Structures are given as C-alpha cells and as structure tokens.
Structure 1
C-alpha cells in the first residue's frame, strides 16, 4: 500500500530547471526499514553537486535529494522494533530527506534528545559532524595550535572555527569580506581568499598546524604552502567546491585528490588527508551524540543562515552561496505537532 506525499525531485544533471517539487507515492517501509515523518532536512553543497551530476557515486536521476534529516517515526517495517511511533530520530540519509515521508534503514536512525532546538540539531548531523570529525580525528587539534579554515562563514567552516577554538586553538581563515565583522566577533582572524594576503601572513607567523580546505584543486597547493615545517602539521581536504563557487565548469576530483595524497610521499613533517563523512564510520554516532550534548549544555550555538519551505527547494538551489549571513541552510518540511 502506498501513500501520496510531496517531495523534491532532481530529474537530471544540469541547471535549476531540473529541480521540482511534486506529488508522488511512497510505499510502506520494507523489512528493517522505518518510515519517518520528516520535520527538517539539511541543505548543503552536496545538493548542488548532485544536481550538477558530479557528486561521487550518486544515484541516477530521477531521485529525491536531502542528505540528512530529523523527524518522528511514523511506521515500523517488519522486524524493526528499536523505535516506536512518535520517537524523534536523526539520520544521515544521503537521499530522500526533502520529502514529507522517508523510508530509512533502521540501523541508520539515531535517537534525538527531546528539548533540543530542532533546527540547530539538524545542522549537527552533516555540517557539524563533518567538522567534528576533521577537528577531533583527522587533525587532532589541540591547545596552542594555529588553525586555518577556508570558508569560515559557511556551515562547515564556521563549525570548524568554533570546535577548534573549543580545543584551544587560534583560528585564522578566509571568508567573504561582508562576513569579516561577524568572524572577528568570534575571536578569529579572517582574510579575503582572492588577494592571497593570507599566504604571506601565515608564513610570517611560521605557518599553521592544520588547514581545512573545502575548495580543492589549486587551493590545496596554496593551503599546503602555509603548513608549518617546524612541527607536525596537516592539510585536511574535503568538498572540492572551487569550481562551484567560481562558476567554472564541473571538474573531476580524481586527479586533485590523488595529488593531495601524494604529498605524503615527501619526507617532511607536513601531512595531507582527504575527509569524507560516512554513516557507517565507527565515529559517526559517538560524534553526533557528543554534539547533541554540547548543544544541550549550551557550549555551542549553531547559526542558521536560512530556512526554506519544501516548495522552495528550487529557490534554495538558485540562491545557494548568495547573500550575507553565516551558518547552515535547512528545509522545513513540517511542523512538529508533538511539542
């Protein structure tokens, strides 16, 4: 038996004309699946890359996007008994979150503590969990280190900035000039990416202990150049957003990632890695649980740049990376009627 729902659909690779919101069927959840009534979905660069058709190993169109969600359990499939109807859950869904209902594997559902701000909690699943993994595991940032973050006013870049500061690091980075004042209020030091002043400034300080670079391609070469050689240091590459942000044609990540990792063949104190968050990673659930606790205790505040409605998903694609403001983008699917 199927139910008719509203959902976003990407019908092919290309411009925003390939994004629409339609009525469509959803079947009852299969064995080991749970049907979730979606409250909020995240919206990020992965949505844009999927629409462009350049996200690694993505589904063939048509498909419903939405990389993460928070919602309430609606129906359990056969042999699914971990949650009951109405339970609040989070999921790194990868697809299907931008819809009124989503059928998700039970093993990927994570309980969400009641009482959290659900908009902020949704941003933790992908944006902040990505940042947490890089700061805490990839770079192991510690007190007294110097850290450089590209895109400090973006969702992940902002999270890296805050989490690195919580570890006691001094944070520098790049951001749009319109957001420099807001970055300075955090106690961090922003530069403008395009003029490259940040390269000479960091080298005059003796280099940094960690760089987090979501731009990729030529930017990874520049970021590598500001790593300190006096102590162990690391460049953490992720994303590969440079063509998307500069309006260039889509480019394959295979060569730049290979080149990035090949830097490790040098005999020196500089290291490189490429970070990709995965819901099967052994650190994924513990890291998200830790972030929920930080939010509950008020140790982090998660800025939300804009919240779109489900019907506004095409507009979200049009306006991505425009306008001022800092933080994560969300899609509100439904009001939480249980609170």
Structure 2
C-alpha cells in the first residue's frame, strides 16, 4: 500500500524556484528492492547541477534529488534476503535520498555498523569513498610523493588530503583565503589561493607535483598540467568539475573538458599521464571500501568535518546559499531521528 511521505521535488529544470518540498505517495518496494527510512542524506554540487539539468548522464525531470543516505530498513520486497527490518544501512542512490522513505535495489545497499555517528557515516558514502578510491587505487600515492589538491576545503578535497597524509605524502593545495586558518588548524601546512596563481611557481620551484587532484576542471586542467614533476613525470587526476557551481554560476558541459584532459596523457613519449576519477555503485570495490571507511571512522582514524547541517525543509534554501558556505567539509541533511526501528512516525518533520 502506498505511503505518503515528505520529499524534496524538482518538477522541471531551472533556478532555485524549481525546487520545493511536497507530500507524495511512495509505492511499496519492488521484489528486489528495500524501502529505507532515511535518517541522514548528503547535499552537494551534484544536487545543484541536477536541479539545473546539467549533471552528466542524469535522468529527466521530474525528480527527487539526494545522492547518498544512511537509514534503516523500513520494509522489504518479496525477493529480498540480505537485510531485515530495522537494519542500519547506507546507499549511494544518486536520486531520492532527500525524502523520508526511498526504494532502492537491495544489492547496492551496504550494511552500516551500529554505533557509528550518522553524520560521519553519510559523509563516507560519497565524499570520503571518492577520496579513498582515487588516492589508494586511482593514483596509488607513495610515501614521500608531492601531492597537490585543488579545493582542499571541499568535502572530497579534505578527505583526499587526509588519505594522502596517511600514506606519507607531502600535500599542498588551493582553497579560498577565508578558509586557510581553519585548514591550518586541521593540519594543512601551506594552502594557496587558486586565483593568484602563486601556487604554479611555488610547485615548479619544489620540483613539481607527482600527483595533482583537480576538482575544478575546464581551464584549471591546463594550469595543473604545468605543475607536474618534469623529471619523474606526474599524474593529473580530474574529478567532479564543480567550479561553476561553487562560484554560484551555471555549470558548463564537462564532457569536452574531460576529453581534453584525457587527450593530454595520450601524447607519445609524454612523461605524464591523465585520468578522470569517478565512483559508481557497480564498481566491485564500492562495498568493501565502504565497510573499510566505516571501520576507520569507528576507530577514530578519520573524521569528516561537517560544513553545514540542514533539515529536509531547509534543502530548497541550501540550493540558493551553497556557494556561500564558508566552513570546511561535507553538508548533511538530517531527515529523521533514529529510534532503531525503521518505522516512520507521523510526527516527523512537523
């Protein structure tokens, strides 16, 4: 029987007026789906790009945004056997996490350990799993490597900084000047300002970077290429491409920029290589790495700074203000209180 839930809703693509909170029915889960009571979900540039209809490969409107979640199993489809009602779980849904309940294919749902901080857990699902995969697998950071990260104050950027330091790298990077003191408090020794370009000369004088993580994209790829280590060769890793969103501008199409990035690494006899890193729930590494991240969080070995805490009702306003947030780390949406049961209570969101 369909259940009425509150959800964020994008009826058509456009500016911030094209997003609202609405009550709508959700169908029972399909045979291979579980229905999850959402406790926390993530919020980021991908949600804004989807509202504008500019996220690569996204589906058409109408849609409910929300890329990742932590919640409890509310009900199960007839063919499900991996979980039981009330189990704490996490999922990278891409859509539908900004809602009280969501249906999702059971095979992509990851068990979440009891006792973990829910805000930390949801930060792991997309932001920190992206950073983990690209630093440990994508770039294979080595002890003593010089690593440069654009967007150190972002959720993925700070996570990448954390993992590179754990692997013994020397880490440099860019962030807006207003965030430098906070970054220094968190262990960054020398952040640069992207716009003044001092970082280019500084890194060249150091002998260049062995790895550059560039989440800005477009023109920034050419600048990042200039700071790769000329003698040893370097690896330029593109990801994200949220520069326009972060600046409050409408995002450009990323495909041309990514194609140019990859072409740079295909020149014969070039000492450098390029790649574009993305994370996908179908990757065989996704669930094992999620479980590893949950354990690292429980053990206190990693900690995600939380930039902003929202309620579901505040998500439309966050679409207007996201580029103005001045703190560091992930943005999380608290959707419901956790009573350990997975039941949906009529008093929630009132």
TM-score range, shorter chain: over 0.9
Task: Measure, in 1, the Cα distance between the counterparts of 2:182 and 2:145.
Answer: 22
Equivalent in the alignment of 2:166: 166
2:207 is the alignment partner of 1:211: no
Equivalent in the alignment of 2:98: 98
Task: Measure, in 1, the Cα distance between the counterparts of 2:191 and 2:284.
Answer: 34
From the superposition, tell whether residues 27 and 89 of structure 1 become closer, same or farther in structure 2 (CA, over 3 Å): same
Pairwise CA distance, 1:248? 4.3
2:158 is the alignment partner of 1:140: no
Task: Measure, in 2, the Cα distance between the counterparts of 1:243 and 1:122.
Answer: 25
Unaligned runs of 5+ in 1: none
Equivalent in the alignment of 2:301: 299
Equivalent in the alignment of 1:43: 43
Equivalent in the alignment of 2:63: 63
Equivalent in the alignment of 1:15: 15
Task: Measure, in 2, the Cα distance between the counterparts of 1:287 and 1:208.
Answer: 27
Equivalent in the alignment of 1:82: 82
Give SS of 1:60's match: coil
Task: Measure, in 2, the Cα distance between the counterparts of 1:225 and 1:130.
Answer: 25
Equivalent in the alignment of 1:124: 124
Pairwise CA distance, 1:323? 3.0
Equivalent in the alignment of 1:112: 112
Give SS of 1:321's match: helix
Task: Measure, in 2, the Cα distance between the counterparts of 1:159 and 1:119.
Answer: 15
Maintained 8 Å contact 1:170/1:188:
no
Equivalent in the alignment of 1:269: 271
**Alignment map for 1:190-269 (pairs within 5 Å):** 190-266=191-267, 267-269=269-271
Task: Measure, in 1, the Cα distance between the counterparts of 2:329 and 2:112.
Answer: 21
Structure 1 ranges of 4+ moved more than 6 A: none
Maintained 8 Å contact 1:31/1:79:
yes
Maintained 8 Å contact 1:229/1:268:
no
TM-score (norm 2): 0.95
Give SS of 2:273's match: strand
Task: Measure, in 2, the Cα distance between the counterparts of 1:19 and 1:8.
Answer: 7
TM-score (norm 1): 0.98
Pairwise CA distance, 1:247? 4.4
Task: Measure, in 2, the Cα distance between the counterparts of 1:71 and 1:250.
Answer: 31
Give SS of 2:324's match: coil
2:323 to 321, 324, 329: 321
Unaligned runs of 5+ in 2: 342-350
Equivalent pairs, count: 339
Maintained 8 Å contact 2:88/2:113:
yes
Pairwise CA distance, 1:249? 4.1
Give SS of 1:194's match: helix
Maintained 8 Å contact 2:146/2:171:
yes
Pairwise CA distance, 1:10? 1.1
